[in-house]
Structure 1
Amino acid sequence: MPYAVVVGVDGSEPSTAAAEWAAQEAQRSGRPLRLLHVGGTSSPAPGEADGVAEPLPPSVLATRDRIASVLPGLELTCEQVPGSPAYALAAAGGRNGLLVLGSRGLGGFAGLLVGAVSLRVAGLANCPVVLLRAGVDGRGGGAGDVVLGLDGDGACPEVVAFAFEQAAAQGATLRVLRSLTVPAGPYSTEAVVEQWEIREALEAAELMRLQDALAPWREKHPEVRVQAELSAWPAGRALVEASRSARLTVVGRRRPRLHPAAPWLGPVTHAVLHHAHSPVAVVPHD
């Protein structure tokens, strides 16, 4: 049985966008869709061993019914589980699933672009997490490239594999970005010319390294058109700008070695989550 696409729903506008994106992804990939609302249970009555589950909110049921009507052949379940939202959602995704979340739920502060629960899930989960903000295209099949940000060593096979698979499934170009910044030197005419030549040599060498890192994935996915680029901007800004025309932006998140269960997001991933103009996929890697 294929691993489910799990989406956290609470009736908020971002969670509705997330559910729509997740439904399209489940339909496209042939996976079941699991709508998950994390809520409490009522106190048990005297003599009862367990509490009685609270009914699902009407807004969550409305989301379920709308998806079922639009995609009647989709395997769809909708359930409520107790517990801490971040830990319950991270556990539901497991290691091989896909989690989809709105960037901010009903309980968040209106001024925050990404809520605490969404950030915590993105830092905790052992599977890829896709976050969508309200107002961001959540249809999961719009125009634009899949954008992938790679760091200097490019040794993140889980991240690269996810980006290639998404590009292949959506028939999109994969745009791979790597940031290369060269410190400015003296401002004499001779120094500027020398600095320009050094920069050109560094860019040529770095672009070749990037192409070499992508070569095995090109062979595995010959149907994917790949566009490798270097940016003079810092990585976070480069990815945010690229996300303006993207259908999905993919970034990595290293699993902590000392405390594997502790949530952690690097500064680039954190910046992209807060400012990207497209849905963002955070893929954990070792």
Structure 2
Amino acid sequence: MTRTITVGLDGSLESRAAAEWAAREAELRDLPLKIVHVWEPVPEPMAQAPLLGAETQQHWTERIPREAAQGIALRHPGVQVISEQLTGYPGDALAKVAKDAELLVLGSRGLGGIGGFMVGSVSLSVVAHSDRPVVLVRALETAADEHEPDPAGIPSAATPFRPVVLGLDTQHPDDTLIEFAFDAARRRATSLTVVHAWNPPPYYAYGTPANPALHEALATADAQGLAEVLRPWRAKFPDVKVTEESRYGSPSVHVVDAAGGASLVVVGRKVRRSPLGAHIGHVTHAVLHHSTAPVAVVPHA
């Protein structure tokens, strides 16, 4: 069975931006695009209201994916577009359809001047429970945002893609995560920036006077560790130009900072089968809320 690029659409601006991003990704991967609209039934007393009757509900729930599919088919004539309507809780339904998707794309709501983005409970639930990569796209995302500016300073789909950014923990590198980032950069014919942050071990950090030589030695060792992890991937993807950034400090701060000039940010989520429920991880959680670029969350063992 051919996997699809699947996007959750609810008619909001952020979900429409996600649908456009998903259509471009479907073109890059030469895969069909599936638009999924999940209708969550309203309580029975509200359903009986004149403006919320069964016919009105059916009209709007059918219109949203139909019009979106028609528009995308016109703007992306080379993409096969499929639409599907489901009923139930959106988080559960989207996590279920993600199982058959190459990746799932959802919207992320902008918060304007606050400097962050609101990731709703549905999106966080899907990210935490999906076994497939999930991409969150902010409401203001456009094709131009992903591309470098031309000589006049105007980005467009005719100019090269901005770099892909990968946030990587070299202590626990995962092949699925690394390959996703390299493949994304290769498909976009752009470079890959790998960001790793390090901090000295506790026995160096506490009770030890500042030692510039020691700090430099630790930084050198960490940079060498990052290079060692990436060496086989450079050989596997020789056409991808790689920039390695080993930085001292908070990983979430450095990845978010790098996201400012990225077309896509790739981070991981370790799959934990815990009785306390699934977790996203504090670095990935921070990147989801503050990245100015689309964020792909790749689950891994």
- For residues 136 and 186 of structure 1, what CA distance do their matches in structure 2 show? 47
Gaps spanning 5+ residues in structure 2: where? 45-53, 111-115, 149-161
Q: What TM-score comes out, normalization by structure 1 length?
A: 0.86
1:165 aligned residue (165, 178, 183): 183
- How much does 1:63 deviate? 2.0
* CA deviations over 1:221-258 (Å, ceiling 9, x no partner): 11111111111230111111110111111100011133
Determine what percentage of the aligned residue pairs are the same residue: 39
- For residues 76 and 120 of structure 2, what CA distance do their matches in structure 1 show? 29
User: Are residues 1:64 and 2:69 paired?
Assistant: yes
**Does structure 2 retain, via aligned residues, the 8 Å contact 1:104–1:118?**
no
Q: What TM-score comes out, normalization by structure 2 length?
A: 0.81
Gaps spanning 5+ residues in structure 1: where? 44-50, 106-110
* CA deviations over 1:114-156 (Å, ceiling 9, x no partner): 1110111111110000001112345685232111011141421
How many residues were matched structurally?
268
**Does structure 1 retain, via aligned residues, the 8 Å contact 2:168–2:267?**
yes
User: RMSD over aligned Cα, in angstroms?
Assistant: 2.6
- How much does 1:74 deviate? 1.1
Match of 1:283 in 2: 298
2:285 aligned residue (263, 270, 280): 270
2:249 aligned residue (226, 233, 238): 233
- For residues 112 and 225 of structure 1, what CA distance do their matches in structure 2 show? 30
- For residues 163 and 255 of structure 1, what CA distance do their matches in structure 2 show? 18
**Does structure 2 retain, via aligned residues, the 8 Å contact 1:27–1:74?**
yes
User: Are residues 1:121 and 2:126 paired?
Assistant: yes
- How much does 1:112 deviate? 6.4
Match of 1:28 in 2: 28
- For residues 234 and 154 of structure 1, what CA distance do their matches in structure 2 show? 17
* CA deviations over 1:155-209 (Å, ceiling 9, x no partner): 211110110110000011110011012466789xxx54xx111111111111111
- For residues 17 and 147 of structure 1, what CA distance do their matches in structure 2 show? 20
SS of structure 1 residue aligned to 2:260: helix
- How much does 1:104 deviate? 4.2
User: Are residues 1:253 and 2:269 paired?
Assistant: yes
**Does structure 2 retain, via aligned residues, the 8 Å contact 1:145–1:174?**
yes
User: Are residues 1:54 and 2:58 paired?
Assistant: yes
Q: Which amino acid aligns with 1:126?
A: D
Q: Which amino acid aligns with 1:63?
A: A
- For residues 167 and 183 of structure 2, what CA distance do their matches in structure 1 show? 15
Q: Which amino acid aligns with 1:99?
A: L
Q: Which amino acid aligns with 2:93?
A: A
SS of structure 2 residue aligned to 1:97: strand
- For residues 41 and 58 of structure 2, what CA distance do their matches in structure 1 show? 6
1:40/1:258 Cα in 2 relative to 1: closer, same or farther (>3 Å)? closer
Aligned residue runs from structure 1 range 137-148, under 5 A? 137=142, 141-143=146-148, 144-148=162-166
Q: Which amino acid aligns with 2:255?
A: L
- How much does 1:259 deviate? 4.4
Q: Which amino acid aligns with 1:283?
A: V
Match of 1:11 in 2: 11
User: Are residues 1:90 and 2:87 paired?
Assistant: no
* CA deviations over 1:19-62 (Å, ceiling 9, x no partner): 0000000011011100000014699xxxxxxx999343534333
**Does structure 2 retain, via aligned residues, the 8 Å contact 1:243–1:278?**
yes
Match of 1:73 in 2: 78
**Does structure 2 retain, via aligned residues, the 8 Å contact 1:180–1:234?**
yes
- For residues 250 and 138 of structure 1, what CA distance do their matches in structure 2 show? 18
